[in-house]
Amino acid sequence: MVTLLIGKKGTGKTKKLISLANEAVAASSGNVVVIEKGSKLTYDVTHKARLIDTDQYLVNGYDMLFGFISGICAGNYDVTDILVDSTLKICPEGVAGIENFTKKLQELSKTASTNIVLLISADENEIPDSINAVCQKV
């Protein structure tokens, strides 16, 4: 399942993502991965989750991020949850590419049996309505 955390800057999305990551670690019998741009979550997310900084791997854009997430799923069959912080900072295309990206992630999520959470700093009105059919919103 793909879940979206949508809201303007300063609305508590990152705190919710941290909470979701820590809850996932507590409930998971596999691995939890948190993808971020920079390394600002190091002290907030439990050490049992795998933190990955996209800057270290030169991930930039929806296609690269999809490939990166696919590689994580392919390389480790017991990843139960992947949480992505600052999706629009990693993907400079902005909201324009989010529809196709979430459709591909939904297919990957089913294939890999992995829950994926995307944090999107945007107004909910900017997100295409068609995403409602594909993703759950929190």
Name the helix (H) or strand (E) containing 95.
none
Task: Please report the pLDDT score of residue 133 as a whole number.
Answer: 55
pTM: 0.91
What domains does the chain contain, in order, with CATH numbers?
2-137 (3.40.50.300)
Q: 102: burial class by Cβ within 10 Å (0-12, 13-18, 19+)? A: buried
Q: What residues contact 26, with CB distance under 8 A and at least 6 apart?
A: none
Q: What is the mean pLDDT of residues 37-42?
A: 86
- The whole-angstrom separation of Cα 97 and Cα 114 is 22
Q: What is the mean pLDDT of residues 32-50?
A: 90
Query: Predicted confidence band at 117 (pLDDT cuts at 50, 70, 90)?
Result: very high
- Comparing 123 with 57, the larger pLDDT belongs to 57
Q: What is the mean pLDDT of residues 31-46?
A: 89
Q: What are phi and psi of 68, to 5 degrees?
A: -65, -50
The answer to whether the Cα torsion of 137, 42, 12, 8 is positive or negative is: negative
Task: Please report the pLDDT score of residue 132 as a whole number.
Answer: 63
Query: Predicted confidence band at 7 (pLDDT cuts at 50, 70, 90)?
Result: confident
Return the structure tokens found at 32: 């939890």
Task: Please report the pLDDT score of residue 103 as a whole number.
Answer: 92
